[in-house]
Amino acid sequence: SQKIEQNSEALNIQEGKTATLTCNYTNYSPAYLQWYRQDPGRGPVFLLLIRENEKEKRKERLKVTFDTTLKQSLFHITASQPADSATYLCALDRGSTLGRLYFGRGTQLTVWP
Amino acid sequence: DTAVSQTPKYLVTQMGNDKSIKCEQNLGHDTMYWYKQDSKKFLKIMFSYNNKELIINETVPNRFSPKSPDKAHLNLHINSLELGDSAVYFCASSQVRDTYEQYFGPGTRLTVT
Protein backbone atom coordinates (compact mmCIF):
# COMPACT_ATOMS: atom_id res chain seq x y z
CA SER A 1 0.00 0.00 0.00
CA GLN A 2 1.03 3.59 -0.48
CA LYS A 3 2.99 5.04 2.42
CA ILE A 4 3.61 8.73 2.85
CA GLU A 5 5.87 10.17 5.54
CA GLN A 6 6.24 13.81 6.44
CA ASN A 7 9.57 14.47 8.07
CA SER A 8 8.41 15.51 11.47
CA GLU A 9 5.25 16.13 13.35
CA ALA A 10 6.34 19.61 14.36
CA LEU A 11 8.69 22.27 13.06
CA ASN A 12 9.46 25.51 14.87
CA ILE A 13 11.26 28.36 13.14
CA GLN A 14 11.86 32.04 13.62
CA GLU A 15 10.01 34.64 11.60
CA GLY A 16 11.82 35.59 8.43
CA LYS A 17 13.54 32.23 8.01
CA THR A 18 12.73 29.66 5.37
CA ALA A 19 10.67 26.70 6.46
CA THR A 20 11.36 23.43 4.67
CA LEU A 21 8.96 20.53 5.01
CA THR A 22 9.62 17.08 3.62
CA CYS A 23 7.30 14.49 2.14
CA ASN A 24 8.65 11.02 1.34
CA TYR A 25 6.68 8.26 -0.29
CA THR A 26 7.16 4.58 -0.97
CA ASN A 27 5.82 2.05 -3.44
CA TYR A 28 3.92 3.65 -6.25
CA SER A 29 4.97 6.83 -8.00
CA PRO A 30 2.36 9.55 -7.97
CA ALA A 31 1.16 11.30 -11.08
CA TYR A 32 0.59 14.42 -9.01
CA LEU A 33 1.63 15.62 -5.61
CA GLN A 34 -0.34 18.25 -3.74
CA TRP A 35 0.25 20.33 -0.65
CA TYR A 36 -2.51 21.56 1.63
CA ARG A 37 -2.66 23.80 4.65
CA GLN A 38 -4.93 23.02 7.60
CA ASP A 39 -5.70 25.41 10.43
CA PRO A 40 -7.18 24.16 13.73
CA GLY A 41 -10.88 23.43 13.43
CA ARG A 42 -10.93 23.95 9.66
CA GLY A 43 -10.76 21.87 6.53
CA PRO A 44 -7.56 21.58 4.47
CA VAL A 45 -6.94 24.30 1.91
CA PHE A 46 -5.17 23.56 -1.36
CA LEU A 47 -1.85 25.34 -1.89
CA LEU A 48 0.13 23.84 -4.75
CA LEU A 49 0.14 20.92 -7.16
CA ILE A 50 3.18 19.53 -8.95
CA ARG A 51 3.16 16.93 -11.69
CA GLU A 52 5.56 14.02 -11.99
CA ASN A 53 7.29 15.61 -14.97
CA GLU A 54 7.85 18.90 -13.16
CA LYS A 55 10.84 19.61 -10.96
CA GLU A 56 9.69 22.78 -9.27
CA LYS A 57 6.61 24.94 -8.81
CA ARG A 58 6.33 28.38 -7.22
CA LYS A 59 3.54 30.52 -5.91
CA GLU A 60 4.41 33.76 -4.15
CA ARG A 61 6.49 32.75 -1.09
CA LEU A 62 5.84 29.04 -1.61
CA LYS A 63 7.99 26.61 -3.56
CA VAL A 64 7.53 22.90 -4.11
CA THR A 65 10.08 20.52 -5.58
CA PHE A 66 9.50 16.96 -6.74
CA ASP A 67 12.25 14.38 -7.05
CA THR A 68 10.84 11.09 -8.38
CA THR A 69 14.24 9.41 -8.03
CA LEU A 70 14.44 10.16 -4.33
CA LYS A 71 10.64 9.76 -4.02
CA GLN A 72 10.53 13.02 -2.19
CA SER A 73 8.89 16.42 -2.30
CA LEU A 74 10.13 19.47 -0.45
CA PHE A 75 7.84 22.35 0.46
CA HIS A 76 9.47 25.69 1.21
CA ILE A 77 8.01 28.84 2.72
CA THR A 78 10.38 31.75 2.37
CA ALA A 79 10.33 34.83 4.62
CA SER A 80 8.05 32.95 6.99
CA GLN A 81 5.52 34.82 9.10
CA PRO A 82 3.60 33.88 12.25
CA ALA A 83 0.48 33.73 10.04
CA ASP A 84 2.09 30.76 8.25
CA SER A 85 1.72 28.70 11.43
CA ALA A 86 -0.51 25.74 10.56
CA THR A 87 -0.37 22.05 9.72
CA TYR A 88 0.82 21.29 6.20
CA LEU A 89 -0.33 18.11 4.50
CA CYS A 90 1.25 16.34 1.59
CA ALA A 91 -1.07 14.31 -0.67
CA LEU A 92 -0.30 11.93 -3.52
CA ASP A 93 -2.47 11.17 -6.51
CA ARG A 94 -1.45 8.06 -8.43
CA GLY A 95 -3.68 9.07 -11.29
CA SER A 96 -5.33 5.66 -11.40
CA THR A 97 -8.60 6.47 -9.66
CA LEU A 98 -10.38 9.74 -10.17
CA GLY A 99 -9.23 12.11 -7.48
CA ARG A 100 -8.03 9.48 -5.03
CA LEU A 101 -5.54 11.18 -2.69
CA TYR A 102 -3.27 9.55 -0.14
CA PHE A 103 -2.50 12.03 2.64
CA GLY A 104 0.48 12.19 4.96
CA ARG A 105 -0.07 12.91 8.63
CA GLY A 106 1.11 16.47 8.26
CA THR A 107 3.76 18.67 9.77
CA GLN A 108 2.70 21.30 12.29
CA LEU A 109 4.65 24.46 11.57
CA THR A 110 5.03 27.17 14.20
CA VAL A 111 6.65 30.47 13.23
CA TRP A 112 7.60 32.54 16.23
CA PRO A 113 8.30 36.28 16.16
CA ASP B 1 -21.30 32.02 -0.95
CA THR B 2 -19.58 29.14 0.86
CA ALA B 3 -17.97 26.76 -1.64
CA VAL B 4 -18.38 23.49 0.29
CA SER B 5 -20.71 23.45 3.25
CA GLN B 6 -21.50 20.74 5.76
CA THR B 7 -24.18 20.36 8.39
CA PRO B 8 -24.08 19.99 11.26
CA LYS B 9 -20.77 21.41 12.47
CA TYR B 10 -20.93 19.41 15.69
CA LEU B 11 -22.76 16.19 16.38
CA VAL B 12 -22.90 14.52 19.79
CA THR B 13 -24.84 11.30 20.04
CA GLN B 14 -25.01 8.02 21.89
CA MET B 15 -23.83 4.63 20.80
CA GLY B 16 -26.32 2.74 18.71
CA ASN B 17 -27.98 5.81 17.22
CA ASP B 18 -28.26 6.58 13.50
CA LYS B 19 -27.14 9.97 12.21
CA SER B 20 -26.61 11.80 8.93
CA ILE B 21 -24.20 14.49 7.78
CA LYS B 22 -25.06 16.62 4.78
CA CYS B 23 -22.73 18.22 2.28
CA GLU B 24 -23.33 20.66 -0.53
CA GLN B 25 -20.96 22.30 -3.01
CA ASN B 26 -21.73 25.26 -5.25
CA LEU B 27 -18.55 25.07 -7.33
CA GLY B 28 -20.06 23.06 -10.16
CA HIS B 29 -17.60 20.22 -9.53
CA ASP B 30 -18.27 16.72 -10.81
CA THR B 31 -16.72 14.76 -7.93
CA MET B 32 -17.39 14.77 -4.22
CA TYR B 33 -15.66 12.95 -1.35
CA TRP B 34 -16.00 11.98 2.27
CA TYR B 35 -12.89 11.86 4.46
CA LYS B 36 -12.40 10.85 8.08
CA GLN B 37 -9.77 12.57 10.21
CA ASP B 38 -8.97 10.71 13.40
CA SER B 39 -7.59 12.01 16.67
CA LYS B 40 -4.05 11.76 15.30
CA LYS B 41 -5.03 14.05 12.44
CA PHE B 42 -4.68 11.33 9.82
CA LEU B 43 -6.96 12.16 6.90
CA LYS B 44 -8.27 9.12 5.09
CA ILE B 45 -10.69 8.88 2.19
CA MET B 46 -13.90 6.93 2.70
CA PHE B 47 -15.98 7.44 -0.44
CA SER B 48 -16.11 9.47 -3.59
CA TYR B 49 -18.79 10.06 -6.21
CA ASN B 50 -18.25 11.23 -9.76
CA ASN B 51 -21.38 12.52 -11.45
CA LYS B 52 -23.48 10.70 -8.87
CA GLU B 53 -21.65 7.40 -9.46
CA LEU B 54 -19.73 5.75 -6.61
CA ILE B 55 -16.09 5.41 -7.69
CA ILE B 56 -14.15 5.08 -4.44
CA ASN B 57 -15.37 2.86 -1.65
CA GLU B 58 -12.65 2.23 0.88
CA THR B 59 -12.69 -0.46 3.51
CA VAL B 60 -15.36 1.19 5.57
CA PRO B 61 -17.92 -0.63 7.72
CA ASN B 62 -21.19 -1.01 5.88
CA ARG B 63 -22.81 0.99 8.67
CA PHE B 64 -21.61 3.96 6.64
CA SER B 65 -23.67 4.67 3.55
CA PRO B 66 -23.13 7.63 1.25
CA LYS B 67 -25.86 8.99 -0.95
CA SER B 68 -25.60 11.48 -3.77
CA PRO B 69 -29.00 12.83 -4.85
CA ASP B 70 -27.32 15.10 -7.41
CA LYS B 71 -23.87 16.36 -8.38
CA ALA B 72 -23.96 19.15 -5.81
CA HIS B 73 -24.84 17.02 -2.80
CA LEU B 74 -23.25 14.08 -1.01
CA ASN B 75 -24.67 12.92 2.28
CA LEU B 76 -23.27 10.41 4.75
CA HIS B 77 -25.53 8.23 6.83
CA ILE B 78 -24.14 6.24 9.73
CA ASN B 79 -26.08 3.44 11.39
CA SER B 80 -25.53 1.98 14.84
CA LEU B 81 -22.87 4.45 15.84
CA GLU B 82 -19.87 3.16 17.79
CA LEU B 83 -17.33 4.90 20.01
CA GLY B 84 -14.66 4.42 17.33
CA ASP B 85 -16.69 6.48 14.88
CA SER B 86 -15.80 9.61 16.84
CA ALA B 87 -13.75 11.78 14.50
CA VAL B 88 -13.97 14.80 12.24
CA TYR B 89 -15.63 14.07 8.91
CA PHE B 90 -14.78 16.26 5.94
CA CYS B 91 -16.61 16.60 2.69
CA ALA B 92 -14.65 17.74 -0.35
CA SER B 93 -15.19 18.33 -4.05
CA SER B 94 -13.07 18.62 -7.16
CA GLN B 95 -13.25 18.81 -10.92
CA VAL B 96 -11.22 15.80 -11.89
CA ARG B 97 -9.22 15.72 -15.14
CA ASP B 98 -9.16 19.49 -14.94
CA THR B 99 -7.59 21.14 -11.93
CA TYR B 100 -7.40 18.18 -9.51
CA GLU B 101 -7.20 20.20 -6.33
CA GLN B 102 -9.85 19.39 -3.77
CA TYR B 103 -11.94 21.91 -1.89
CA PHE B 104 -12.83 20.87 1.63
CA GLY B 105 -15.76 21.75 3.81
CA PRO B 106 -15.37 22.97 7.40
CA GLY B 107 -15.79 19.50 8.86
CA THR B 108 -18.29 17.82 11.17
CA ARG B 109 -16.98 16.82 14.58
CA LEU B 110 -18.80 13.65 15.58
CA THR B 111 -18.62 12.55 19.19
CA VAL B 112 -20.15 9.24 20.17
CA THR B 113 -20.70 8.71 23.88
pLDDT digits (tens, 9 = 90+) for B2-51: 799 999 999 999 999 999 999 999 999 999 999 999 988 889 999 999 88
Size of interface A-B (CB pairs under 8 A): 57
Rounded percentage of chain A residues whose pLDDT exceeds 70: 96
- Provide the total of helices (H) and of strands (E) in chain A, helices listed first: 0, 11
Confidence band for B99, pLDDT divided at 50, 70 and 90: low
Pairing of strands A107-112, A10-14: parallel
H or E stretch covering B107: none
Residues in chain A closer than 8 A to B40 (CB atoms): 105
Confidence band for B53, pLDDT divided at 50, 70 and 90: confident
Between chains, do A103 and B44 touch, taking CB under 8 Å as contact?
A: yes
d(CA A91, CA A4): 8
Residue B112 makes CB contacts below 8 A (sequence gap 6+) with B13, B14, B15, B81, B82, B83, B84, B85, B86
Between chains, do B48 and A99 touch, taking CB under 8 Å as contact?
A: yes
Between chains, do B106 and A42 touch, taking CB under 8 Å as contact?
A: yes
Residues in chain B closer than 8 A to A35 (CB atoms): none
Asked if pLDDT for residue B65 goes beyond 70, the answer is yes
